Structure 1
Amino acid sequence: MTLGILLGLIGLALAAGGVRLATLGGSWYYLITGVLLVLSGVQFARQRLSGFWLYAAVFVGTVLWSLWEVGTAFWPLVPRLAPVLTLGLFALLLLPRLSAGRVRAPAYAGAAVLALVMAAGGASMFVPHGVVEGPAASRPAAAAPAAAEAAPWQHYGRTLAGTRFAPFTQITPQNVDQLEVAWTFRTGEVNGPGTKNPGSEDQNTPMQIGDTLYLCTPRNTVIALNADTGAEKWRVETGANSLYWNRCRGLGYYEVPAAAATPAAATDGTPASSTPVAAAADAALCARRIVMSTVDARLMQFDAATGQACTGFGENGSVDLKKGMGEVKQSYYFPTSAPTVVDGKIIIGGWVFDGREADEPSGAVRAFDARTGELAWVWDLGNPDHTGLPVDGQTYTRSTPNVWSTPAVDEKAGLIYLPTGNCPSDFFGGHKPPVCDEYNSSVVAVDLKTGKERWKFRTVNHDIWDYDVPAQPALYDIPDGKGGVTPALIQVTKRGQTFVLNRLDGTPIADVEQRPVPQGHTEGERYAPTQPYSVGMPNLGFEPLSEARMWGATWFDQLACRIKFRQMNYEGDFTPAMVGKPTIFYPGFLGGMNWGSVSIDEQTGTLIVNDVRVPNVVRLVPRAEADKVKATMGHGEGMHPQANTPYASHNTQLLSPLGVPCQAPPWGALSAIDLKTRQVVWQRPLGTLVDSKTKSGFAMPLPIPIGMPTLSGPTSTASGLVFYAGTQDYFLRAMDSATGHEIWKARLPVGGQATPMTYVSPATGTQYVALSAGGARTSPDRGDYVIAYKLKGR
């Protein structure tokens, strides 16, 4: 009776949902199965043997249907087969009673087999699936360890090339399991949900210069630490704060040339100490400077030894980045990524608050004299011939694509490579001028000396998907097979596409082709007929979605996801948003790949990259309807007003009723690509469920390596290690760069979403791995930790 009632209730739920799915043009499986389960339940309740045979039909049909739909892929099979296996076990245990004992032995034998299958399936949940194994790139003999003085972590990507590769060999795959906490530092600033700064996130990668580690907090407190002990040397509270999006991903460093740091005597005989040149006196104090941009749009400098303001820089140590921008509403414009310091200049772009309105501050990129703060040049996309301050009464061209991520630099070529974003507003572009289509979501090479454009490459045509180029380009010389090398730029994108370009002229090294994409019908919009695809590089798991790829932790939320999918507008990549019917964006506007960027193992030429595989759902909302709804003042989900355009946008993620992504796992992975062969070396799901909880409160705190969405980026070393911490569980991990196998992990007090770094102390010769851990984005657990690890006994 109990089993009969249970089967009947399950069958009614599946049949009801199945009717809805079938009327939407979806699979009939759920309707047919629901009806059979109801009939089976009735017969079980009546203690009729036909109840078992009806269930057996459901069992066999489900197995055949599942194998037909998804093959033998483990995670797609789990919600399909787990329910019928569980119910089948009870049905077999009841079979002897229904058959008056005639089939006792076969029934119990069958139940034992199902129990073994379920046990094997349960055990398999703790084994990574979706793993790709390829031919490992050969590792040459490690070069002599780099002197610490010659290899500081001085830039966001360690060097201006942005490869996040450290030429150190003290920590190796053989001894990495001997890592232990060397020191822990607390910044005193806890941010995120439940705090007074809910939109703040700690994404800082510390910078190491000599015996000092420099870091910044989301609200721009600058702190200097002893690199060996973690003891605080100095800190500066800048008082910076933003209402919505506090971040400080990194700092810059500048050394004043020796000639400029020594004040010269005045020509009129005045003693040098009283020369009326503030910059010269300041240079003596600030011969070594820490450079920081703030979330209230200032560019600041501090003496690296003392933390004192470099008063000869700008006005008392600060440059107002709002100058020339025109109206800047509170928290609508500021840099979030580290300033680029090179060639005696500080080069900086800025983040613009997405989705607010059509008229927002300029995306202009500026270079300032690193010693004085004077403007050296500006790259104003809408006025490229004017490289200085705007004339009176004018501003830099407003609402142009901005550069919110980190550039890379080839000093030999004299070029800085700028990854551009989008023009406002994100999801409607009928109003956008030609300059937007010319430069949106591109990589642009600009002359370091003059700020003049040298070449550009666009990754999206007429971007109405918020597919900003989010990651720092990585520069690497790829062997050409003829004894020489090709100077390459590797650019990952939110689209999950990886473009490999010749960094001297912007031409593709890996083939790129224009492919037709879906067209829309929204009034006032225009659509690009084709989009660029990097067909010469591997697809890392972003195949188009289908109903069969919809997933759920149970029969019911998988059915709900199938219904959602059928109710939405989706024709594959680049399906444009529309009014009324929600549209699926996959990859979503969080990635693919995002701001964490990549690492390149420079000894093997292996590209290491993490990704996010969660679709977004966007619906255009007519202006009259949107103006009645309060806009979401966060960044990402909710109602974005897109003021001064015909439409607002409402943004969500494609999630099941339990709050898990609707498409089958993994939802995040770490991959390695051989840049010589352009083949996947390995790919592994990244992160477990142990610390995850969905918005609905559903949790399964088990170390199941399902592969979760990731943030931040990886770091690689000359010894053959990859360090990564941007998972939703609270671990810093080390992987073997040749195979991707996890060979060490350390439990963190809270999650992390910053890229780890590694350095060798010049004082002790000890190699450290350091990480900021302020909390994973999806977790309420927040902290203010900076943690460094070293080998036992060092």
Structure 2
Amino acid sequence: VALSAGMGEIIPGFYFQTSAPLVARDFIIVGGWVVDNQMRGEPSGVIRAFDARTGALAWAWDLANPSITRDPPAGGTYTRGTPNSWSTASYDDQLGLVYLPMGNATPDYFGQGRPPGSEEYNSSIVALDVTTGRERWHFRTVNHDIWDYDIPSQPALIDLPDGQKALLQTTKRGQIFLLDRATGKPIADVVEKPVPQNGAVPEETPAPTQPFSVGMPTIGADFLTEQKTWGVTMFDQLYCRIAFRKLRYDGDFTPIGLTPAIQQPGNTGGMNWGSVSFDQANGRVFMNDIRIPSVFYLVPSADYKEATAHIHSDDTGHGPSPQAGTPYGMVTGVWMSPLNIPCNQPPFGTIVAVDLKTRKIAWQIPAGTADQLGPFGVAAGMPMTMGMPTYAGTAATAGGLVFFAGFQDFYLRAYDAENGNELWKYPLPVGASATPMTYVSPKTGRQYIVVSVGGAAYSPKVGDYVMAFALPKKE
């Protein structure tokens, strides 16, 4: 099956798959990843389903052109530049619904001139009929997204303590949305709140309000102040305090503009692609977050090449991007001191349990130590718990444990699901950026925890291990 069919020109590296396809009934459903912020009109975000037996195209969902239900007309393409779904989808067989976490129309940081319909679906959850590909509902988590707050997390399908069928969606903003998965209507209250407007370029009109999930806790999206700047020495803390005074910052949704501004939470999270795990018996969900603000700004296109010649991409979506076809290029990066350490106070990442009966945080702990990551990215050799940035996701077991491996200090750890106490840890040869999985072997009857160990997100040390753990055999 050629996934390039109907897509038009694809510049090498501008479109590919970053998540496994979803298999639902007789269909294989795929979205796709597009490179951020390079140009207007990048490859389409079309969602397609293929017959699992024959590979034939069964349906297509082109949000900007609903008349296209399979292949585009002869000589045509799916609508270019539409929001894509690069993360992992979910599926409810009883309802026959596929749930898609959506990205943004390209580019992310300039919102004028986007394809028709894109504004309605940017940073949304979309439910499609698995048989026809027709939309049943959608819920948008950001209005007129110019912050790259697309949804990276797989939607979690959970049954609430009262039996209600819910969809729980974590976001880069640290917001947790709890929806009825049949209708998309909020179960926990969501309100529109006024957000900052100053600082945007003349061509841009930021949304006056944004949706906040006030019926659920917010994770890690604290308002920054000068007093909350940080450094490992008095000198880099002073640097960060001076920087804070110079940067533009009005709180959540400070608009991007021509002057450098703080984006808090940054565009890596909040909660990223690790999603959550769920303990049905106790009504708790477990997640991890990232707490590192970004600094971002726009550059007039005529000045972009010269103004960004000295700035290099870090291959994680940070750095300069041209946004060709718009009046502005852009620059974004982690808000760092000269020692390459975040300017905000730790923790830089936590592991969190949320009680769905009370809809409050049950416990929250810093995620790991600075042992393997310090100034300039060099191992600090400081095994003190301070909470480092986390990727991947948690794995909860029926035995009351929560496993997590996405630390920067190269450990797999097990926590007590009741209170967050660390019960066990094992040193890995390198870090991991993958979610553990667990299963019971039908052959041995033993339960295993398995994790892919390929390297921590910010570490230069990489590996190619798959490691399995189990309790000792009973004699």
Normalised by the length of structure 1, the TM-score is 0.58
User: 1:583-598 residue pairs with structure 2 within 5 A?
Assistant: 583-598=261-276
Deviation (angstroms), 1:436: 1.6
Q: Where does residue 176 of structure 2 map in the other structure?
A: 498
Q: Give the total of aligned pairs.
A: 470
Within the candidate set 316, 320, 324, 1:639 is matched to 320
CA distance in 2, matches of 1:554, 1:699: 17
- Change in 2 beyond 3 A, CA 1:763/1:699: closer
Q: Where does residue 771 of structure 1 map in the other structure?
A: 451
Deviation (angstroms), 1:612: 0.1
Say whether the 8 Å CA contact 1:693–1:779 is kept in structure 2.
Answer: no
CA distance in 1, matches of 2:260, 2:8: 36
Which structure has more relative contact order (CA 8 Å, sep 6+)? It is 1
- Please give the secondary structure, in 2, of the residue aligned with 1:556: helix
Deviation readout 1:445-479 (Å, 9 max, x if unpaired): 11111100011100000000000111000011113
CA distance in 2, matches of 1:350, 1:356: 16
Deviation readout 1:616-635 (Å, 9 max, x if unpaired): 11110110111344574834
Within the candidate set 286, 296, 300, 1:622 is matched to 300
Deviation (angstroms), 1:697: 5.2
Q: Where does residue 476 of structure 1 map in the other structure?
A: 158
User: 1:106-121 residue pairs with structure 2 within 5 A?
Assistant: none
Within the candidate set 706, 725, 747, 2:427 is matched to 747
Q: Where does residue 71 of structure 2 map in the other structure?
A: 389
Matched, 1:732 2:412: yes
Within the candidate set 347, 367, 372, 1:686 is matched to 367
Q: Where does residue 398 of structure 1 map in the other structure?
A: 80
Matched, 1:613 2:291: yes
Query: Which of the pair has more CA radius of gyration?
Result: 1
Deviation (angstroms), 1:700: 2.8
CA distance in 2, matches of 1:442, 1:469: 7
Q: What is the identity, as a one-letter code, of the residue corresponding to 2:238?
A: L
Point out the more displaced range, 553-562 or 371-380: 553-562
Deviation (angstroms), 1:431: 2.0
Q: What is the identity, as a one-letter code, of the residue corresponding to 2:441?
A: S
Q: Where does residue 249 of structure 2 map in the other structure?
A: 570
Deviation (angstroms), 1:677: 1.2
Q: Where does residue 180 of structure 1 map in the other structure?
A: none
Deviation readout 1:688-717 (Å, 9 max, x if unpaired): 0111133x2565312110000000000001
Say whether the 8 Å CA contact 1:659–1:698 is kept in structure 2.
Answer: no
Deviation (angstroms), 1:646: 0.7
Matched, 1:541 2:220: yes
- Runs of 4+ in structure 1 off by over 2 angstroms are 627-635, 696-700
Runs of at least 5 residues in structure 1 that lack an aligned partner in the other structure: 1-318
User: 1:278-357 residue pairs with structure 2 within 5 A?
Assistant: 319-357=1-39
Q: Where does residue 510 of structure 1 map in the other structure?
A: 188
Q: Where does residue 343 of structure 2 map in the other structure?
A: 662
- Please give the secondary structure, in 1, of the residue aligned with 2:369: coil
CA distance in 2, matches of 1:514, 1:594: 23
Q: Where does residue 450 of structure 1 map in the other structure?
A: 132
CA distance in 2, matches of 1:562, 1:378: 51
- Please give the secondary structure, in 2, of the residue aligned with 1:320: coil
Normalised by the length of structure 2, the TM-score is 0.97
| Structure with the higher helix share, 1 or 2 | 1
Deviation readout 1:313-350 (Å, 9 max, x if unpaired): xxxxxx11111111111011011011100111001100
Q: What is the identity, as a one-letter code, of the residue corresponding to 2:390?
A: T
Matched, 1:371 2:53: yes
Q: Where does residue 209 of structure 2 map in the other structure?
A: 530
Say whether the 8 Å CA contact 1:730–1:752 is kept in structure 2.
Answer: yes
Say whether the 8 Å CA contact 1:472–1:595 is kept in structure 2.
Answer: yes
User: 1:71-86 residue pairs with structure 2 within 5 A?
Assistant: none
- Please give the secondary structure, in 1, of the residue aligned with 2:370: coil
- Please give the secondary structure, in 2, of the residue aligned with 1:787: strand
Q: Where does residue 419 of structure 1 map in the other structure?
A: 101
| Structure with the higher strand share, 1 or 2 | 2
- Please give the secondary structure, in 2, of the residue aligned with 1:758: strand
Q: What is the identity, as a one-letter code, of the residue corresponding to 1:627?
A: K
Within the candidate set 279, 289, 310, 1:601 is matched to 279
CA distance in 1, matches of 2:64, 2:115: 10
Deviation (angstroms), 1:772: 0.6
Q: What is the identity, as a one-letter code, of the residue corresponding to 1:539?
A: T
Among all aligned residue pairs of Structure 1 and Structure 2, give the percentage whose two residues are the same amino acid. Answer: 55
Q: Where does residue 231 of structure 2 map in the other structure?
A: 552
- Please give the secondary structure, in 2, of the residue aligned with 1:476: strand
CA distance in 1, matches of 2:22, 2:7: 20
Say whether the 8 Å CA contact 1:658–1:698 is kept in structure 2.
Answer: no
Deviation readout 1:329-376 (Å, 9 max, x if unpaired): 101101101110011100110000111111100001000000111001
Say whether the 8 Å CA contact 1:637–1:651 is kept in structure 2.
Answer: yes
Runs of at least 5 residues in structure 2 that lack an aligned partner in the other structure: none
Matched, 1:359 2:41: yes
Within the candidate set 459, 465, 471, 2:141 is matched to 459
Q: What is the identity, as a one-letter code, of the residue corresponding to 1:730?
A: F
Say whether the 8 Å CA contact 1:367–1:378 is kept in structure 2.
Answer: yes
Deviation readout 1:108-144 (Å, 9 max, x if unpaired): xxxxxxxxxxxxxxxxxxxxxxxxxxxxxxxxxxxxx
CA distance in 2, matches of 1:699, 1:562: 25
Deviation readout 1:26-53 (Å, 9 max, x if unpaired): xxxxxxxxxxxxxxxxxxxxxxxxxxxx
Say whether the 8 Å CA contact 2:220–2:270 is kept in structure 1.
Answer: no
Deviation (angstroms), 1:793: 2.5
Q: Where does residue 113 of structure 2 map in the other structure?
A: 431
Deviation (angstroms), 1:433: 3.5
Say whether the 8 Å CA contact 1:725–1:756 is kept in structure 2.
Answer: yes
Deviation readout 1:32-78 (Å, 9 max, x if unpaired): xxxxxxxxxxxxxxxxxxxxxxxxxxxxxxxxxxxxxxxxxxxxxxx
CA distance in 2, matches of 1:744, 1:609: 18
Matched, 1:561 2:240: yes
Task: Give the aligned CA root-mean-square deviation in angstroms.
Answer: 1.3
CA distance in 2, matches of 1:658, 1:632: 18
User: 1:192-271 residue pairs with structure 2 within 5 A?
Assistant: none
Q: Where does residue 332 of structure 2 map in the other structure?
A: 651
- Change in 2 beyond 3 A, CA 1:624/1:633: farther
Within the candidate set 329, 335, 357, 1:676 is matched to 357
